[in-house]
Structure 1
Amino acid sequence: MNGTITFAAGVGAFVISYTLLVPLRRWALRWDLTDRPSRRKAHASPTPYLGGIAIKLGTLVPAAAALGFADQRITAILLAAMAIGMVGLIDDVRPLQPFTKLAVEAVAAIGVVSSGVHVTLTGGWLDGALTMLWMVVMVNSFNLLDNMDGALGTVTMVTAAFLAGTAFVSGEPSLGLLLIALACTSLGFLPHNWAPAKIFMGDSGSLFIGFALACSAVLLVSGRGPDATIAGLLLPTFVATVDTGVVFLSRVRAGRSPLVGGTDHVSHRLRRMGLRTRAVAVVLGLAAAVAGGCCLAMALQWISPLATAVVAFGAAVLFISLLQGCGRQHADRAPKTRGIRERRH
């Protein structure tokens, strides 16, 4: 892939995202498509939800213009991510039943698997089933991660950038360009979403991001052994995986449904430990950078896939265990700090 084309795609993604967010914010306020303040939310005024549209267009337009439809795997990822993003947009405007969203996510995952994007652990039909299940779980894990100003945007920017490097090293330049576009569109989104946020990405953005990153990770481990597959799937989704693990265990122990929203995510726990909202986003971004750097180092054959898988899995378990006790006594209490918000799950 020509470096000039990749650079142009990245610049285009940033410009589209950054500039489009201004009219989207005005339209959302005019149409009352906002997240309203409440006792369990910290923002002081209605905040628009339509940021996900800029993220989708900022990624898809440059990627489609540069790549066309030559690679059926990339085409399948783009079309399926767009479909899931559209469902997320509908959910932002008029909340859908969880089963409806899960059904669309499953169909989209099946479409991507059918294009040849799947893990190769067993060599049979089970690989497709495992891939589909993992994609659906990760889509919703990234959706859950969008719970604080700047958090998911920062994690996406860092993760997509490192995953793009991994793609180029692994001989997947088309995927690398797509991920560069995603990283740059997230960079364009962040000035508008940095605390205090002027606009939220909504489910349309978080579901799109989760699906795109999950599919990209799967494509890069296809044909690899179990150790490289485990490490290659866990590292790009490390922050989202830990957050989901913390929330799931804490709510199960408390006898609450994991599907009900709350302020017991990793970001909220870090905030209650004394970090400011912007600092929390930076910490999550640094965690994503360490995980992404390990993924890239593994692709460069600087570290062993087996050792990477063991360390990554152990680190995830350790962080989930440690974070269980951070702010547990306040998990059901609404935070008093600007920038923290409870999202619909």
Structure 2
Amino acid sequence: MRIYILIAAIAGGVTWLVTPLIRHLAIRIGAVGQVRARDVHTVPTPRMGGLAMLIGFAASMLFASRIPFISGLFESGHQAWVILAGAIAVCLLGMADDLWDLDWMLKLAGQLLISVFVSWGGIQIISLPLGSLVTASPSLSMAITAFLIVASINAVNFVDGLDGLAAGIVAIGGIAFGAYSYIIARISPSYASMATLIDVALVGMCVGFLLHNWHPAKLFMGDSGSMLLGYLITCASIVVTGRLDPATIHTSIYLPAFMPILLPILVLFLPVLDMCLAIVRRLSRGQSPMHPDRMHLHHRMLRIGHSVPSAVLILWGWAALFSFGSLTILFVPASYALMGFIVATCLLTVATLYPYYRRRMPEIRQENAALAASKKAPAEHCSGRIASKED
């Protein structure tokens, strides 16, 4: 465990150190996000922070490859280098979008190409939850893997709308999934786990970047960062399937503990939910799924009355609920886990809606008073008419 903490510290430290340099580079080459109608920020802010996170991730991976405890993961295969190569490609694609605002179809084509390359390099879903873990055909494995990677990349990209939001949500998911992969690795002769390694490096670089990205942000991660985060956390979840033997493991054992095909969805529940809502909303209006708007979850939080920091913290809370709530069934009975989930949901719901009701309560009192006055006036008028007739 101490080795993993050291790797996370290296990823975070390197990211934190190089982020100011990347900020100056972004300003120099013109990678500055102008204020658009759908944006929350009010001043032009440099982006391309994903390059700083990539440098932190690469530094931690290179360091890990020299540690005896983990070096076997690099020597036994080329999986780690394929993931790193894919991360570089995803980040470069995002940097191109940060600089030139690529057409969404061109960007999607690039994401698919990178996903197919990574899948072809051996990062694949190798089993499917169909009664028992059934080995999928190579072509089906590549298709499912490419779909999951592209979906996660865009899910994180969709939720990246407030300072620190995407980095915090992915860091929370990385901690939860890192704990899961570490538990899985403990049943093997060696505790070394590629999934855990990716997760701790991911969490480290997110924390290092958050120190510069908290509101008001000095630098945005841009598409280079959001796409990188979605790619890495999905690769970590896919790598875990290499430890599950379809011939010996039944679905009933691992279904409560994240079936491999469900892991990215559960860990990235909020980004996936936001993406699905956006796609349905835009298609119902006859628009492109990538058409921008101000109806994302973070926009709704601001409309309710939250400040940017409070909206981010509450959305982090929802992300932690779904990420760690799924893990609790590994350690406590399902009934207790469900009870805790319900209590936490109620508390987060109150925190989410509090600004709305605080603003609405005086308005509701005024409306009730006006309604009572309107009902009282006809009654007084009628009683006055009756008294005049008696006279």
Alignment TM class, shorter chain as reference? 0.7 to 0.9
Contact 1:271–1:280 (8 Å) recurs in 2: yes
| Counterpart secondary structure, 1:263 | coil
Contact 1:73–1:112 (8 Å) recurs in 2: no
Tell me what 1:329 maps to. none
Structure 1 residues 303 and 89: alpha-carbon distance in aligned structure 2, compared to 1, 3 A threshold: farther
Tell me what 1:337 maps to. none
TM-score (norm 2): 0.72
Tell me what 2:43 maps to. 45
Matches of 1:98 and 1:180, distance apart in 2: 31
Match of 2:125 among 115, 118, 122: 118
In terms of Rg, which structure is larger?
A: 2
Question: Residue 120 of structure 1 aligns to which amino acid in structure 2?
Answer: S
Contact 2:149–2:235 (8 Å) recurs in 1: yes
Structure 1 residues 237 and 43: alpha-carbon distance in aligned structure 2, compared to 1, 3 A threshold: closer
Identity %, equivalent residues: 26
| Counterpart secondary structure, 1:41 | coil
Q: CA deviation at 1:26?
A: 2.2
Matches of 2:183 and 2:59, distance apart in 1: 24
Q: Any idea what the Cα deviations from partners look like across 1:136-181, whole Å, max 9, x if unmatched?
A: 1221111111111111011011111111111111116232122111
Contact 1:78–1:212 (8 Å) recurs in 2: no
Structure 1 residues 258 and 83: alpha-carbon distance in aligned structure 2, compared to 1, 3 A threshold: same
Matches of 2:157 and 2:39, distance apart in 1: 17
TM-score (norm 1): 0.81
| Counterpart secondary structure, 2:127 | coil
Match of 2:204 among 166, 172, 184: 184
Match of 2:113 among 99, 107, 132: 107
Question: Residue 62 of structure 2 aligns to which amino acid in structure 1?
Answer: A
Q: CA deviation at 1:78?
A: 1.9
Question: Residue 4 of structure 2 aligns to which amino acid in structure 1?
Answer: T
Structure 1 residues 90 and 128: alpha-carbon distance in aligned structure 2, compared to 1, 3 A threshold: same
Structure 1 residues 184 and 35: alpha-carbon distance in aligned structure 2, compared to 1, 3 A threshold: same
Question: Residue 265 of structure 1 aligns to which amino acid in structure 2?
Answer: H
Matches of 1:152 and 1:173, distance apart in 2: 25
Structure 1 residues 265 and 205: alpha-carbon distance in aligned structure 2, compared to 1, 3 A threshold: same
Q: Any idea what the Cα deviations from partners look like across 1:81-107, whole Å, max 9, x if unmatched?
A: 221111111111122233332233223
Q: CA deviation at 1:303?
A: 6.3
Tell me what 1:245 maps to. 276
Q: CA deviation at 1:15?
A: 1.1
Contact 1:142–1:152 (8 Å) recurs in 2: yes
Tell me what 2:263 maps to. 232
Structure having greater relative contact order (Cα 8 Å, sep ≥ 6)? 1
Contact 2:124–2:141 (8 Å) recurs in 1: no
Unaligned runs of 5+ in 2: 66-70, 129-133, 186-191, 357-391
Verify: 1:169 aligned to 2:215, yes or no: no
| Counterpart secondary structure, 2:260 | helix
Contact 2:194–2:236 (8 Å) recurs in 1: no
Q: CA deviation at 1:251?
A: 1.7
RMSD across aligned C-alpha pairs, in angstroms?
A: 2.7
Contact 1:119–1:127 (8 Å) recurs in 2: yes
Tell me what 2:308 maps to. 277
Matches of 2:199 and 2:45, distance apart in 1: 28
